[in-house]
């Protein structure tokens, strides 16, 4: 969003390297120093502990914290129950990205008023694409034979909420924790009871558990990408493309017409 809205008038540096798993991000001293000198820092509090620690220390000139204006949903814990923690995976609902884009646009205009017209036009173009994506999801998932879908970790709560689907997550919010045998058994029971066709895995996490569940139940596996980092293995080169691939995968798995 920063690159699309800022265009040639900004220099964007990612705190999370492409392809790095973002939940357990660690910052280098240089990155922490950069927070203090940047014209704008875009982040989401409650997602990456290293950022939550560094921001108050660095006190950046200007921030956009998406957790300060989005409606956060309750997280699903590793037992599949709604917990007291908030789910950080806001970006998997395109409508949230529209809202964040508006805030990024306004913050960039404040930082660089001379480029106001460019930022406004760039933001409008991106919002148009995100709105089209949201419409594609809404229409594409309106009529599905199956509403639940099985994911590797509980990243898709916002997507499920936005499009009236139901997430069954093998793991909780943290992608790297290994699920218990009891949780795997429960996922298998739910998958069978709901006539699920596909066990989804993701590009940055080992597919071994997903493959084992699928093999036990005689189901197929496929990628549902939580877009926590785009690599050469991703099904697309940016958010819009990978979300398009996610829609295709969900429509197939959930038998949507
Ligand atoms: Zn995640």
Quick one: pLDDT band at residue 89, thresholds 50, 70, 90?
very high
Centroid of ligand 1 to alpha carbon of 226 (angstroms): 7
Residue 242: per-residue pLDDT = 97
DSSP assignment of 3-47 equals HHHHGGG-----SSPTTS-STT----HHHHHHHHH-S-EEE-TTT
- Is 70 exceeded by the pLDDT of residue 80? no
Residue 21: per-residue pLDDT = 85
Q: For 142-253, which CATH superfamily applies?
A: Nitrogenase molybdenum iron protein domain (3.40.50.1980)
- Is 70 exceeded by the pLDDT of residue 77? no
The domain over range 2-137 is classified in CATH as 3.40.50.1980: yes
Centroid of ligand 1 to alpha carbon of 153 (angstroms): 7
Centroid of ligand 1 to alpha carbon of 175 (angstroms): 6
Strand partners, 64: 42
Centroid of ligand 1 to alpha carbon of 114 (angstroms): 37
| Span 179-237, pLDDT tens digits | 999 999 999 999 999 999 999 999 888 899 999 999 999 999 999 999 998 888 899 99
Task: Give 256's Cβ-side CA count (13 Å radius).
Answer: 22
- Is 80 exceeded by the pLDDT of residue 101? yes
> Which one, of 122, 166, 118, 125, lies nearest residue 144 by Cα?
166
> Which one, of 230, 238, 42, lies nearest residue 130 by Cα?
238
The tokens for 238 are 């940016």
| Span 126-163, pLDDT tens digits | 999 999 999 999 999 999 999 999 999 999 999 999 99
Q: CA-CA distance, 117 to 226, in Å (whole number)?
A: 33
Q: CA-CA distance, 125 to 119, in Å (whole number)?
A: 10
pTM for the full predicted model:
0.94
Centroid of ligand 1 to alpha carbon of 163 (angstroms): 19
């Amino acid at each position: 969003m920063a690159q699309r809205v800022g265009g040639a008038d900004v220099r964007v540096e990612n705190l999370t390297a492409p392809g790095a798993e973002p939940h357990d991000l660690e910052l280098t001293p240089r990155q922490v120093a950069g927070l203090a000198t940047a014209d704008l820092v875009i982040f989401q509090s409650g997602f990456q502990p290293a950022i939550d620690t560094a921001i108050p220390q660095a006190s950046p000139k200007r921030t956009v914290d998406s957790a300060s204006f989005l409606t956060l949903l309750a997280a699903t814990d590793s037992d599949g129950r709604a917990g007291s923690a908030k789910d950080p995976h806001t970006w998997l609902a395109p409508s949230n990205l529209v809202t964040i884009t508006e805030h990024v646009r306004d913050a960039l205009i404040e930082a660089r008023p001379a480029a106001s017209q460019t930022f406004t036009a760039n933001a409008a173009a991106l919002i148009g694409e995100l709105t089209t994506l949201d419409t594609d999801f809404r229409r594409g998932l309106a009529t599905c034979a199956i509403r639940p879908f099985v994911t590797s970790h509980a990243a898709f709560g916002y997507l499920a909420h936005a499009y009236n689907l139901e997430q069954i997550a093998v793991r909780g919010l943290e992608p790297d924790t290994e699920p218990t045998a009891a949780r795997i058994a429960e996922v298998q029971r739910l998958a069978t009871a709901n006539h699920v066709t596909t066990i989804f895995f993701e590009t940055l996490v080992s597919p071994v558990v997903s493959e084992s569940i699928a093999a036990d139940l005689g189901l197929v596996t496929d990628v549902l990408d939580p877009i926590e980092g785009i690599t050469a293995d991703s099904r697309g080169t940016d958010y819009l493309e990978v979300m398009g691939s996610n829609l295709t995968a969900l429509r197939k798995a959930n038998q949507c017409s």
